Amino acid sequence: MKNTNSSPASTETNGKLLPILTYSSTPSPSDEEGGWSLAPILDVVRRRAIVIIGVATVVSGISWYGSFTRKPTYSSTFQLLVEPITDNPSLSGLTNSSSNRGGVSLDYRSQIQVLRSPKILEPIAQKIQAQYPGFNYGVLISQLAVVQPAQTKLIEVSYQDSDAQRVKFVLDKVAEGYMRYSQQERQGNLRQGVEFVNDQLNKTQSRVDLLQRQLQAFRQQSTIVDPQAKSSQVDSQLTALEQQRLEAGNQLAEVQQVYSSLAGQSGARAALSQATSYQQFLGELQNLERKIAIEQARFRGENPTLQALQKQRDRLLPLLREEARRVLGDRLSTIENQLTVLQVRQAAIENATQYWQQQAQQLPITSRQYTDLQRQLTVATESLNRLLQMREMLQVEVAQKTVSWQLIAPPGDPQVPGTSTPQNLLIGALTGLIASATAAFLLEKLDNTFRSSSDLKKQVKLPLLGAIPYYPSLYESSGWGAMLNRSTATASSMQFLFSEAFRSLNATVRQLSVKSPKRSIVISSAQPGDGKSTVSLFLAQAAAAMGQRVLLVDADLRSPQISTLLELPNQPGLSDLLLDNLDFNTAICSIAPQEQTGSTSALVRNTGRGGLFVLPSGQIPLEPTELLSSQKMQALMEDLQSAFDLVIYDTPPILNLADSSLLAAHAGGLILVASLRKTVRSAVMEALENLETAHISVLGIVANGTRGQAYGTPLRYAERGVSTNTIEN
């Protein structure tokens, strides 16, 4: 497998050393040559062609339909020269202030806001309403744009509407209104503007003063100068209290454990073993017991010496019990005091934590209030500064001679801005392609299965032992010849590719056995339906065709499949051997060549050099795991390895079942089968984690159900009919 290195290791399980393969990613030459590859994108396009075509067609159609059915929008503009091109030298000194940097004496931003204000546009809208009923200031301002072209003394006014005549009429009226404003009202409005600005200055100044007092009162009331600093303080206090709580909890748990241990029998023994006085009494008692035992062996119960020793023992026993109660009572009292202190400390920490948590809960509210006040104060201050600047400008402007505006570019004929028909078609096509590509790659991201053998090899850091082609006619009742109504040549080619895939898999497995012979292999999958039984069956046939004596064991004692596939009786079988202590030769079936074309058993043939044998599962037991983990099963596995060149175990899926791991621990390794476009990635990863935890040697993975592969020379040989003894269905 590319990009993987294997290193042998071993682990001991039930006295046997099992090889464990570990893998680490290393860059392959193809990866080092680097570069961006189109292959993954082309794979996505091929897999999601229907989605791409469908989404592109729908989105492009909607875009084209909208571009052709949308009503045209007309637009026109006019321009006003609002300042002389050459400044008057006698007045330049008056306008050379901080408010007139860059040679611009007019506050264009404010002027544009005035031109868009209801005071100017409302009378104009009323005149337009006489021609177009329903027209008002809201309609006018929504379609009217007033801007200053960059670095000019011009104001450009534009208007757009679906009616070309209305566009021309509206702009004519707006131009007339602006010129009248310039000629008749501007000078008077400047003085009124100064008065207005002064009035706004007083209100804004009062607003700023009020907000400053509110902010000061808020800081005094909440004792918070900076919410950020307060937040940091609260966080640090909570962190420190949490650390103290954990330490106190650990200490309390330790003391409680000591208390429980001391209160129990084992703890009492430990405490008494450390008490010197108790041990002295205990030693004397043991010495008396030995003497009494010696005297009882020599004399009867009426012996004076024996009676004296028994009286000494009776006097010593109460003393020993009293000493035990005293020792245990002192220790328990000390531990109880420690428990009380730690519980009080923990309660104090909890109270402090609750206080700071309440502070933390209140902090967002106070922080929001502080932020609102600060923001309002900032806005009010900025407004105050702007008003001060505006008053200064207006005062200077009032002192100057007012110059009338000039209409240098009257409203022209309305035009339809936009794109041409070819451009609309191109935009619609590009929109459809982008939407379809997005949908395709989104579906790829949501797909949680392995899509190809290369994808499987990339995601799973294990050797890819083989890739089994998708064979839809494998178990059809009509037999292999039909091949979904294909021609005989095509069916034969598919059989050839299917057969060669298992021969290649068998060759790969045999190469793994060069340094470490593997007489038994467990085959499993992450989840049901991945084709593990099919792989087990045809791998066994391929190995038998190479001259080996192969035994296929149906170790799936929960849902056996091998006997059904081969149309063999299921009893006696593996479970019967383990339950009834039968000889394994009584349950093993030899698969001989048959001439049936409609049965699966006809697919498996002996070559004369080796042979294929099958051990069915037998009756389904109540506790399969108990049988497979028994000593009988281990002994049976050793006997089967001695009797056959290769033993293949077909086992249940790995997830949530221990059967595969139990057998693999005593076999040469495990092969994991994954079905493309079906097996969930997370299931395979979880299965591999379970195997790694159980220290199971995983030989590699088999990709089942590959499609659309370029088989090249093998396919051409198949079409010529080179192989006639391939697997048939």
Q: Could you read off the pLDDT of 336-356 as tens digits, one per residue?
A: 667 677 777 777 777 777 777
**Mean pLDDT of all residues in the chain?**
74
Indicate whether 30 pLDDT > 90.
no
Q: How confident is the model at residue 649 (pLDDT cuts 50, 70, 90)?
A: very high
Residue 509's pLDDT is: 86
Indicate whether 701 pLDDT > 70.
yes
Q: What percent of the chain has pLDDT over 70?
A: 68
Residue 676: φ, ψ to 5°: -65, 145
Who contacts 206 (Cβ-Cβ below 8 Å, separation ≥6)?
A: none
Indicate whether 31 pLDDT > 50.
no
Name the more confident of 132 and 320: 132
Model confidence pLDDT, tens digit, residues 524-571 = 998 888 888 889 999 998 889 888 899 999 988 888 888 888 888 888
Model confidence pLDDT, tens digit, residues 51-110 = 778 877 887 777 766 666 666 778 889 988 888 776 554 444 444 444 444 444 678 888
DSSP β-ladder status, 406-409 and 74-81: antiparallel
Who contacts 31 (Cβ-Cβ below 8 Å, separation ≥6)?
A: 3
Q: How confident is the model at residue 653 (pLDDT cuts 50, 70, 90)?
A: very high
How large is the average pLDDT for residues 353-371?
A: 73
Angle formed at CA 471 by CA 600 and CA 448, multiple of 5 degrees: 125
| Range with top average pLDDT, 265-269, 583-587, 709-713 | 583-587
Indicate whether 668 pLDDT > 80.
yes
- What distance in Å separates the CA atoms of residue 331 and residue 268, rounded to the nearest whole number? 10
Model confidence pLDDT, tens digit, residues 139-150 = 888 889 999 888
Q: Among candidates 89, 176, 82, which has minimal Cα distance to 124?
A: 176
How large is the average pLDDT for residues 603-631?
A: 76
Residue 19's pLDDT is: 37
Q: In 430-588, where do the E strands start and end?
A: 464-469, 520-525, 549-554
Residue 4's pLDDT is: 40
Q: How confident is the model at residue 440 (pLDDT cuts 50, 70, 90)?
A: low
How large is the average pLDDT for residues 715-721?
A: 54
Residue 13's pLDDT is: 35
- Walk across the sheet containing 154-161 and list its strands: 144-147, 154-161, 74-81, 406-409
- What distance in Å separates the CA atoms of residue 455 and residue 480, rounded to the nearest whole number? 30
Q: Which fold has domain 453-720?
A: Rossmann fold (3.40.50)
Indicate whether 362 pLDDT > 50.
yes
Q: How confident is the model at residue 512 (pLDDT cuts 50, 70, 90)?
A: confident
pTM equals 0.45
Q: Which two tokens stand for residue 189?
A: 């409005």
Residue 650's pLDDT is: 92
DSSP string, 631-674: HHHHHHHHHHHHH-SEEEEE---STT--HHHHHHTTSS-EEEEE
Which of 59-73, 182-196, 502-516, 713-727 has the lowest average pLDDT? 713-727
130: left (phi over 0), alpha (psi -120 to 50) or beta: alpha
3-state DSSP helix/strand/coil % of the chain, to nearest 5: 60, 15, 30
Residue 579's pLDDT is: 87
How large is the average pLDDT for residues 8-31?
A: 37
Residue 454's pLDDT is: 77
Indicate whether 626 pLDDT > 70.
yes
Name the more confident of 445 and 620: 620
Domain boundaries, the chain: 453-720
